Chains A and B, each alone.
Chain A
């Protein structure tokens, strides 16, 4: 097969894909760049979907990552509203569902993740909603009218952000979480408790440690039946019970998939000409002894898109950016750097009423988390991230002392691993 026109092809025009397309140009690539996405929109950011897009007074527009002008100026071919259905690895082509075949020299899979569906009787009701894309957000917003009784299933980030937005819109909100506490392992219990307290104060009812058995219909009411027999009568149900990486293309192509498309430190799959980035990939993290991670985080998607572009152009560096995540709920920001669950010891610092936790593993800083007004938490989390990146071993006494500036703990020379 002729690979005359074969350039760089990216499947999935979300955060990672759009970023990769731009990065190819920023790093000097002059050949063809094709960005294929099944959504009909220009690439847009997902984080506002559960936040500003829900609470804004005016009808929201998507927060676009790239507009027509930048796509044209950077000669990025954007094929939208079209799904890639298979990869011919020998012929180096991607098959699209509009019968087109696109040749590639290097292919990036940046297909993201989709919401996990709840699997209990009655879950198929049209009143059970999920949130991943802009049209989901518009549909959800239309349902969240004042006075609506809402049950949110899942006390993870998406569920809690929607709960906060729904309360702000005048709904009544109950969140049901099966685990003994909200936010799971990624967030320390103390921080989760502060978040839970803010929800309670805002009027959200949290029910934890109880599973669901069914969703029943009674006239126009929906009833969420809990394992302990409680029956929650509501108008709409929003499920935020995790996401499943979108790996279909990789599976069909015979690439290894294990909790995401498996890639190496350069984000390359088993096939040297196919890479993966963002929510859909599982990668080894050098800072955490090669622990394999799959992150569902906006900055990771952006940074991996950028890194994958460099790998596509022949760079051999390992992706080693420290994981970083934020969530906005009510007037609070939660920020996490690194992996708090890697730590064996926690140290707390008081950021003027906002708690910050440092997580150390055998003396090395591996995670930090804080919740509070953004002005109190952001800087110190950013500095903690830099300490983690440098594999620093800060003195716990200094970490706990709010009068010690974290900036002063940054090693000037990189510290040996």
Chain B
């Protein structure tokens, strides 16, 4: 089942950056990469539950603000210590000038 939610305008996220998006009980991190692709993952780091929206995006990597744990934002994959549990990812599409996330 798909459940596309209107999250923001593309320009609400700077290039190579991340914002927080809360909807109901879920909290996501929404990313815009340098090449203008958009991605979404669970918002909280799998190490100590700190929100990733204050982290730094470099290429397709988000670095957690707390202890620099790294994830690939395109796949959610944990890229080494101290994080070892992957992030859940969500499909994203840009349509009619809006960014939509599929919360399933």
Contacts and interface: CB of A to CB of B under 8 A. Distances in A.
Contacts of A374: 50, 54, 65-66
A374 B54 CA distance: 8
Interface stretch (A156-164, A199-207, A375-383): A375-383
Interface in B25-60: 48, 50-51, 53-56
B56 A382 contact: yes
Contacts of A407: 16
A130 B101 CA distance: 50
A4 B15 CA distance: 55
A298 B56 CA distance: 20
Nearest to B64: A378
Chain B, interface size category, equals 10 to 19
B65 A383 contact: no
B65 A302 contact: no
Contacts of B63: 382
Contact of A45 (B51, B68, B82): B82
Nearest to A47: B67
Contacts, number: 40
A299 B65 contact: no
B56 A19 contact: no
Contacts of A22: 81
A104 to B, nearest CB: 24
A326 interface: yes
Interface residues of A, number: 20
Which of B16, B51, B81 has the most chain A CB atoms closer than 10 A to its own CB? B81
B82 A379 contact: no
B82 A302 contact: yes
Contact of A375 (B54, B81, B84): B54
A324 B65 CA distance: 12
B65 A378 contact: yes
Contacts of A48: 48
A298 B54 contact: no
A326 B54 contact: no
Interface in A355-410: 374-375, 378-379, 382-383, 407
Contacts of A45: 82
Contacts of B54: 374-375, 378-379
Contacts of B66: 326, 374, 378
Nearest to A335: B65
A378 B55 contact: yes
A382 B56 CA distance: 8
Interface string B64-77: 01111000000000
Contacts of A306: 81
A402 to B, nearest CB: 16
Contact of B65 (A52, A298, A379): A379
B67 A299 contact: yes
Interface of B: 16, 48, 50-51, 53-56, 63, 65-68, 81-82, 84
Given A299-B67, A407-B16, 12 more contacts: A48-B48, A306-B81, A324-B68, A326-B66, A326-B67, A374-B54, A375-B54, A378-B54, A378-B66, A382-B56, A382-B68, A383-B56
